[in-house]
Structures are given as C-alpha cells and as structure tokens.
Amino acid sequence: MKEAPKAGQLNASNEEVQIPEGLQKLVSWYADYAKEVVVDRAIVGIDGFKPVHRRILYAMRENKAHEMTKSAKVVGWVLGYHPHGDQSVYESLIRMVDSSMYMNIPFIKGKGSWGKVYSTEPAAAMRYTNCMLHENAALVFDGMDGIKMIPTEDGSVLEPELLPVAFPNVLCNPNSGIAVGMASNIPSFNFHEVLNATIELIETGDIKGVLAPDFTTKGHYVYDESELRKIMERGRGRLKLRGKWTVDGKKIIITEIPYYTTVNALAKQAKELKDKGVPISDIKDLSDRQGLRLEIECSNKKVVDEVLTSLVRDTDLQMSMTTNFTVIVDGRPRVLGIKDLLREWVKFRKGVLKTSLEKEYALVLRDIPRYELLVDLLSDENKRNEFIQRLTKQNSAHARAYLRELYPDADESIFTWILDMPLKSLSGVASKESRLANLYARKAELEADLANIEGVITRQLKKLNTQYSFPRRTEVTDVDYNFEKEKPVVVKAAPTPTLVIIEDKFIKKLRLSPATEHLDGIRCMSDDVISFIDTHGRLLRVNLEHLDYVTERDRGVYLPVYLEVEDDFEVVAYNLIEDKKIGYVYSDGFASVVDYSEWVDSKRMTRITHNGVSPYAGLIVGEIDLSKQFILLMTRKNYFGFVSSDFKHKGRTARTKLINVKKGDEIVLAVSVSYTDILKLVSNPQRYMDRLGPLAYEDVFDTEYLSTLLS
C-alpha cells in the first residue's frame, strides 16, 4: 500500500525533500538578508548600540574628534566602516547629539540646529552642523583593549564587534527597531537606578524592586507595579505615560509630553477635537530654544475641565506603549526581562574586563624582571660603570656580553630593552626603584581583581554613581486617569467575501473575485477571525479587519510581527473561528478537542491564549470533523486503522488516547470518514477497527477514493 498524500494543514513528514537549487539559493539569500537586518542593522546589541551608532563613535575616537568638527566630515569618516549611505549615518548621528534630546546619556556634543525628539522639525543639513565627542563618551570606551576587533564589510580595516561600555547603556538609553520577523522597543531608565539595580544583582543575585522608565521629555509615568514586574521578568509589558500642563485662565499650557509623541502630533489631534465640536478656540505651538510649549485656548474658563478631559482621553497627551526587550546577545536575538538583560550585561562586562586585565597583567609580568635587573645593575656602582664603559667605549655587543656574564639566566629580550634605552636613562636608580615598587603593587592588585572580576564591576559602578549626575526627569505618579473613550460614529462597511492564503507564518488577505477564485485558501468574510495553533500549545488569533487587502504577489503579514511575539514557533494548524468543535489528532495516537465557540463572541478582544491546547501541540498531524462517525489513521510504516470519533472530550488542554502506536512508528495522516467511506476504502473494515496494522494480503485498499476524501 502506498502512503496516502497529506492534507494541506498537516505537518510535513521527516522524510528528506529535494529542494530545487534555485529555491535553495533564494532561501540562502533571504536568510543572509534577514541576518543582515536583524543583527547588523535594526536590533541593538548588549552594549546598547546598533552597528551604525557603534561605528560613529569608534570613527570619531579614531579620528580624535575632541573639538568641534563639521558633521559632513564625521559622516565621511564613518562611511569607511558603515556601507549604507551618508544620510542614514547622519540620521543616526542626530540621535546621539545632546541637544536633540533623544538619549538620556548623550555621547556627542552638537553645535547648530539638531532638531528635537519632541518635534518633527528636521535638523539642519550635515554641512551646517558641527559635533565632537561628549565627555560621557569616556564611559563607552573604558576597556577597549578587552574588545574583539573584526574586519569591516570590505575587509579594509578593523572595527569593534561591540563597545566595552562601563555601564548598562542598553537600559539607560531608549532603543527601537523593526527587523525581519521581530521588533524591539526598549524604553530608557534612570542612570543611577540602573547602576544600583546592577550592583544589587551582582551582590545578592536578584533585584527585589522594579525600575520605572525615565525619559528626556520628562512628563509622568503612571505607576503600575504588575506591569513593571512583567518587564523585570519577561521584558514585555505596558507603560502609561502622560504629559504635564498648567492652566492659566482659559489657556491649557502643555510643557512636557510623552517621549513617544511630538508636539506637532498633539497640535494636530487638538485641531481634530476642535473640528469635532470640543470647545477649543485656538491652538498655538510656541516651542522654541527654551523648550516645548503648546498653548490650547478654550472658548471660556468654564469649559477648561471638559477640554482637558478630551485632551487626556483622546490625544497622545496620555498614551500607552508596549515594551519588547529584544537584544542581540552572543550573535543572536533574544527577548529578555530586565533582570536577565542585566545578567547578560554583567557577563559581557566580565569578559571585557577579564581580557583587559589579563593583557595588563601580562605586561606587568614582562616589566617586573626588566626593572628588577635594571635596578640591580644601577644600584651597584661597579656593575653600572663597567656596563656604561663597555657600551660607550666599545659597542653594544660587548655591553650585551657583559650583561650575560652578570645575569646568565636572564631573558635576552631584557638586555635588548636596556640597550635600547637612552644613555641618560641609566643615570639614576631612584625612579626605577619607584617604578618597580609600583609594578609589584599593581601585580598584587591585578591578581586580586582577576580573582574577583564582579567585585571590580561593582567598584566601578559605585564610582560612576558618584562621578556622574543624571537626575530623574520623568516623574512617577500614582494619579491615573481612566476613561471609556468616546467611540466615534463610524459607518462600518459591510463585510466582503475574502480569500486568506497562509504560507508558513505569512498571512495574505485578498479580495475574493473571479481573478482569485482559482487560488487555494480560506474563503471567508473580511471581518472574520482565524485561529492558529502553534508548537507551544498556544491559540493565536488574527482579526482580518486588522489586515489590509494585498495582491497575489505580495508576501502578506508576518504572524510574529502581528502578534508581537518572538519568532520561536511553528504553526501546526489553523481554522476560521466559528461556533463549532474541531478535533486534533497527534502523531502518538492521542486526540483533543477545541470548542471555538468560546471565542466567537470575544474573538476581537485578545490575540493569544497561552494555555490554548495541549503542550504536545507540536505532535498534531491533522484535524478531524467530529460530525463524521469514524477517523482513518495511517502511520509512517504504512499501517492503518479506524477509530470512533465519539471519544471522551477532556477539554482543550487535555488529550484522549485513541489507539496504540508501536514504538518507532507514528501517525502521519488522520481523515474523518463515514461508515460508507470505510466500505469504499477497504473490503473488510472490521479487521482494521480500533487497531493499526498492515493491509491483509487478500484485502484491497482504494487509494484513489482516499485521494477524493483528501481533496
């Protein structure tokens, strides 16, 4: 009996599949592109920098940019390391300049018009602005000799794989990025609070408290400990941010706003409220060099509270943002909570310091015997005079021979070092004795530090805590404003016939028409919801109303991006959410049932049910129609059998055993069949009921009819 073809929604078998050479190349190219975007462009590293920011700082250090330099010149330096165009480099440079206010800890000083993070007004062109390294850049380069250097893209020069950063910059400055199949959104936290948390983690192994965000645009953070705990543990949570304002008569004066919006956006939103009838008479953006100032004038004093309510409820004056701490660690992207992220930073910093200290220790061990011999030589007047006389009256060869007589066990490199010294350096011994004493002391310090590198990190962080001052800017408040947002009256378009094509984890929504009728996919309506089962046992839901229509050639929406989850799963089954039950068969002979009516009424409320089905969901090989009486099961070793579909339903997270599967075999196909179907498939059905076995010699199996059941 030949193995039957597999249904469209079944897992692929473990058999090798011959992939055409052209497709192999396409997959390889796409993988290279994905790696380039994720690792080399969009996602921040454990040092808190994307490659372009790292290259900007390194290029400025190498070119000693300690005085104001034309920005265009700096961009030119960076292009030797970063092959992605001058404008992208300049846009990244703008983010690191102090006056642009993108970063809590800026690393570049700027002169000229650099724009502001809270405004859409652009910075001046690079030919008009100047910049130099900020004093804070010393924090970035502390330990450069402990960093691995790698070739640039063209191999012409070396660049640092990471920068050694003496503090957890990855948490102190905000970062966001979108790459192939993943996104990152890391808010900024206060420098001193991050350092204290890191010290606590090193000394106790844990962080008891939580970290609250801190932004350059100030404003309020509405305290929510449960969300902060999620961020501490998992890196995913929600932050509610609110601006600050004062009321002067009938004017509402906004002076601080959430980091993730702009004064231009707020002004536009206020105008939209005015157009909808909110009693606003005038809107003025008076922001200047002194800072942000947006004045909203109400029709009269009596309506100020009404206008304020509308502003807080319906504009970005109060907003929520979702965090996603995706960071490149050891060359691959990981989603980490703050605790684990700090653990990874400590591990990284330990590696930097270990390499740096070992290099210095090797130099100290090299210099100690040099100075021991030199001090001994210069302390004895007879030895010194004879050596000088041979060196000056004869030549260095005679002087070297004399040193060999005096110190037969010494390394030849020490003699070379002494002979290369200027003659005047051999006149006094006191400075050499002092240098030798310092070397002995430094050797002891290095040995102690190498034995306790975490202690070195703690000591450095405590020093930085007193050496630098970065006061908290965003005020943490318990005052929250919760509103039921007024829903605008929207005339909703009638649902239209839709075709949904699912390929791997890409979802494509097309209009169902004569032009697309021939395509395979799910035929549904434009407001339906599709549920997926993944290998983690989660139920994932995609509301088609959230997706735009695309063409047949488009790839569609990537499921991990839509759900804002890590790309660490595979889809094992998918279905349109309807008021029905669907059974799933597993390769080990078990089955389970999901009642999708549970989500019919609330299908638009949540996207993920974490305990959706059994944790063995990765073993699902097919779905079954419970309205049919029997299930045909086929195994990899060409065994088959029939079981009743009327098995006990234990709930969607539990499984019921259907049939025994022999060790070394597995079910690869499950098909719902009626008794009439069974009679057409096999001439003696009772022989195969409730057991798996080979086709009997005298029996016949109709594979053509099976194909019609699968089509």
Catalytic positions, please?
128
What does each C-alpha distance from 519 to 91, 405, 500, 551 come to in angstroms? Answer: 44, 93, 10, 12
Q: How far out from the chain centre does Cα 271 lie?
A: 36
Secondary structure (3-state) at 677: helix
What does each C-alpha distance from 265 to 258, 480, 488 come to in angstroms? Answer: 11, 22, 19
Q: How far apart are CA 118 and CA 175, in angstroms?
A: 16
Secondary structure (3-state) at 380: coil
375 and 363 in contact (C-beta within 8 Å)?
no
Kindly give, in sequence order, each residue whose CB lies less than 8 Å from that of residue 451, ignoring residues fewer than 6 positions away.
none
Secondary structure (3-state) at 572: strand
DSSP string over 49-63: --HHHHHHHHHHHHT
Which among 366, 413, 380 has a CA at the least distance from the CA of 400? 413
574: which DSSP letter? E
Sheet of 497-503: strand order equals 522-525, 497-503, 506-511, 557-558
Crossing angle for the helix pair 338-379 and 191-204, to the nearest 10 degrees? 80
What does each C-alpha distance from 613 to 136, 537, 538, 686 come to in angstroms? Answer: 51, 5, 6, 33
* Residue labelled with tokens 């992939």: 19
* Residue labelled with tokens 């959104």: 185
Kindly give, in sequence order, each residue whose CB lies less than 8 Å from that of residue 240, ignoring residues fewer than 6 positions away.
221, 222, 224, 318, 319, 320, 480
